[in-house]
Amino acid sequence: SEMCIRDSACTIDFAQYGLPGLTYRVAYVRGSDIDAVATNGPSTTDGKEHEFFNLLSYTVQSGPAKDLNVRLRASSLRVSSDAIGYNNSGKEVRVFIDYPFSVF
């Protein structure tokens, strides 16, 4: 079972524009030759999918919330009809919040 992955991405660090801690990433990922088995149907070895996503991230630089990171990710996934048993197409928006702290 083999899957080919091709991608392109670009990241902008806004520190160079006077906004340290803010980054933006956009990416396009494409997969092909996906082996998939449908729930009640035939299997395929030629499934395809592609995803486009945007990620905006900010990390607090100082103060009581230093290193707090908030990320907003919006993505769109498209899956070929012969690979739907493997994955489904869809759109989503996710918010991630990370705050590192020491327990000991």
Residue-range domain boundaries for the chain: 4-98
Give per-residue pLDDT as tens, 28-41: 887 777 666 655 56
3-state secondary structure of 15: helix
| 47 touches 80 (CB < 8 A) | yes
Give per-residue pLDDT as tens, 46-100: 677 778 889 999 999 999 999 999 999 999 887 776 666 666 667 899 999 999 8
* Confidence bin at 8 (pLDDT 50/70/90): confident
Q: How far apart are CA 5 and CA 3, in angstroms?
A: 6
Q: How far apart are CA 69 and CA 81, in angstroms?
A: 37
Residue 81 CA neighbour count, 13 Å, CB half: 0
CA 62 and chain centroid, separation? 28
